[in-house]
Structure 1
Amino acid sequence: MKLSIRHETHYDYSAPLQYALQQLCLTPQANAHQAVEEWHVSAPGHLYAQRDAFGNLSHSWSMARAKGGRHVYRGSVMAHGVVRTQPSPWLVDDLAAPHPALYLRPTPLTAPDAALVGLGRSHLLGRSDDEAALLALAGAVAGAVEYRAGITHVGTSAAEALALGAGVCQDQAHVFIAACRAAGLPARYVSGYFHSPRAHHLASHAWADVCVDLAARRWLSVDITHRCTMDERHVRLAVGPDYAACAPVRGVREGGGNEAMSVRVRIEPLPGAMHEEITLES
């Protein structure tokens, strides 16, 4: 599937902004799942590209208002381009990528409690490289953490989301990752995009990769929200141990007063691109 993507993040401030620094993980990379035909990122300041610790291509920019310089009350970050995807959910890391064992370590957002340990071990012990078992775990997580916006926030942990019984795709991915790691299986967070005319709220999406062959660095990509493996509807942006490590936009600022942020993501199949609408799990 050939997809046109446009991702806009707009900021408005109630007072002059004195300083801002942001890191952007908004650039998809070519791999066995996708080919990037064109991609552009823009921000209010000059962009500096770098490869982060997890192999993502990221950009940083900063802005400082000089004494007597103009006041800044608003700004926008934009990413747009064309990506061609194919349905295979399997990926193999090259030797330059971090070793998969890195993704066995818990993080503040994925630290396991007794419930997460029990969830992972009940589904995966003895079946850690079994695609059916991983999809069964995804289904169990999606059932235990109902998709519901407004219940959690970016700092909600996997244990908290499981106890609440509700959250968004980020929370479902964290619960799944924590359960996999508790069963001894490396798992990493994936940020990206998802195309469906009937699920606009999921245009910015999150799911998980699970390493099913440590020696070969082979990963299976699983969409917990839709209880399926990654297919042509998914576009990958970045990976990391959890959301905090590969958030699309993160940063700090000084001044600005109250901040109002709006995000708009538009994904469209290009004319002539092969497209098959697949029924989504509820």
Structure 2
Amino acid sequence: MKYQIHHKTVYRYAEPVRRSVHELRLAPRSGPLQSVQAWSLSAPGSLSEARDGFGNIIHNFTLAGPARTIAITATGEVEVMSTQSGDAGGHHAFHDLPDAGESRVSPLYFAGSTALTHAPADMRAFAAPFLAAGHEVPALLALADGIAGRVGYKANTTDVATTAADAFRLGSGVCQDQAQVMVAACRAFGIPARYVSGYFYDPAATELASHAWADVCLDAGRALWCSIDVTHRCLTDGRHVRLAVGRDYASAAPIRGIVEGGAGETMEVDIAITPLA
């Protein structure tokens, strides 16, 4: 599948922003599951580009002077492989190795919990039966299915500060929460797992939004992973476009920023995903 993607985020302020610093993870990178054909970003400041220790492409900009509106736009074309390549005993998996000359953290770095992905005792007890016999792909898919049933999808019940433990006990959340519960549950049993931000193409959706899912490491020594969409209870496929990975939402968020001034903030997001022949 090949897609044209247009993602625009506009922040508006009742009182002007005096100064702001922004960090963007809005540029997908080519890898084993996708090929970026073209991509561009626009923002009201001069963009600098770098790579973080997870392999993500990061852009930063600083805006000085009064501003009531900050608009950030990402657009481009990405070709996605229809399925994950076969490996690990015939199951779907992929190798995510650093490019030549690139420094990146070990997959084992994703085995430690964070404030957003701490697994309390009730979550560990819930996950234990699924992982008792190991963490092969069928067991992980069963765990994802269990999480989707336990943390039902319901918009506007959580926010970006909601932890996996909070969403698990609440019993509802959005894709971000379901992915973080999956990550937390795996890490509770020593299995490296990472949060993934990106896009999901649904031709029936009237409004498209950013999506989130989880990568789970099958073999740290070979950097072998599988990618699981808890919300849709499946392995990722030709509908998924990856933007960034992190230990949790906070380290993979598409946009992060600090502003001085700027009271009364509102945000509008418009995402369009068009399949290309």
TM tier relative to shorter chain: over 0.9
Looking at structure 2, the residues matched to 203 and 260 of structure 1 have their Cα atoms a distance apart, in angstroms, of 17
The farther-off stretch of 257-266 and 186-195 is 257-266
Give the match for residue 21 of structure 2.
21
1:87 pairs with 2:93: no
Give the match for residue 119 of structure 1.
126
TM-score, normalized by length of structure 2?
Answer: 0.93
Alignment of 1:11-90 (within 5 A): 11-65=11-65, 71-89=66-84, 90=93
Give the match for residue 153 of structure 1.
159
> What is the CA distance between 1:35 and its match in structure 2?
0.6
Looking at structure 2, the residues matched to 248 and 170 of structure 1 have their Cα atoms a distance apart, in angstroms, of 12
Q: Which runs of 4+ in 1 moved over 3 A?
A: 199-203
For the Cα contact (< 8 Å) 1:195–1:203, is it kept in 2?
no
Alignment of 1:75-224 (within 5 A): 75-89=70-84, 90-95=93-98, 96-128=103-135, 130-201=136-207, 203-224=209-230
Give the match for residue 226 of structure 1.
232
Looking at structure 1, the residues matched to 132 and 44 of structure 2 have their Cα atoms a distance apart, in angstroms, of 49
Provide Cα deviations, 1:228-280, integer angstroms capped at 9, x if missing partner.
0010000000000000001000110001221111011111101x2xxxxxxxx
Looking at structure 2, the residues matched to 101 and 206 of structure 1 have their Cα atoms a distance apart, in angstroms, of 21
Provide Cα deviations, 1:151-183, integer angstroms capped at 9, x if missing partner.
001010011101000000000001011111112
Looking at structure 1, the residues matched to 105 and 205 of structure 2 have their Cα atoms a distance apart, in angstroms, of 33
Alignment of 1:195-274 (within 5 A): 195-201=201-207, 203-270=209-276, 272=277
Which structure: greater strand fraction?
2
Looking at structure 1, the residues matched to 231 and 107 of structure 2 have their Cα atoms a distance apart, in angstroms, of 23
Looking at structure 2, the residues matched to 78 and 10 of structure 1 have their Cα atoms a distance apart, in angstroms, of 9
Provide Cα deviations, 1:178-233, integer angstroms capped at 9, x if missing partner.
11111221000000000011235553100000000111110000000000001000
Provide Cα deviations, 1:37-60, integer angstroms capped at 9, x if missing partner.
000011010001011121100100
> What is the CA distance between 1:125 and its match in structure 2?
2.4
Looking at structure 2, the residues matched to 157 and 201 of structure 1 have their Cα atoms a distance apart, in angstroms, of 26
Give the match for residue 90 of structure 2.
none
For the Cα contact (< 8 Å) 1:117–1:179, is it kept in 2?
yes
Provide Cα deviations, 1:50-87, integer angstroms capped at 9, x if missing partner.
1112110010000112xxxxx42112000000000012
Give the match for residue 88 of structure 2.
none
CA 1:200–1:171 in 2, change beyond 3 Å: closer, same or farther?
Answer: farther
For the Cα contact (< 8 Å) 2:208–2:271, is it kept in 1?
no
The farther-off stretch of 112-121 and 246-255 is 112-121
Looking at structure 1, the residues matched to 145 and 225 of structure 2 have their Cα atoms a distance apart, in angstroms, of 19
> What is the CA distance between 1:115 and its match in structure 2?
1.4
The percent identity for this pair of structures is 46
For the Cα contact (< 8 Å) 1:49–1:57, is it kept in 2?
yes
**Structure 2: gaps of 5 or more residues:** 85-92
Looking at structure 1, the residues matched to 82 and 217 of structure 2 have their Cα atoms a distance apart, in angstroms, of 18
Q: How many residue pairs end up in the alignment?
A: 265
Looking at structure 2, the residues matched to 93 and 30 of structure 1 have their Cα atoms a distance apart, in angstroms, of 11
Give the match for residue 68 of structure 1.
none
Q: What is the RMSD computed on CA atoms of the aligned residues? A: 1.2
Looking at structure 2, the residues matched to 269 and 32 of structure 1 have their Cα atoms a distance apart, in angstroms, of 20
Provide Cα deviations, 1:80-137, integer angstroms capped at 9, x if missing partner.
0000001233321225331111001100000110112112222112221x11111000
TM-score, normalized by length of structure 1?
Answer: 0.91
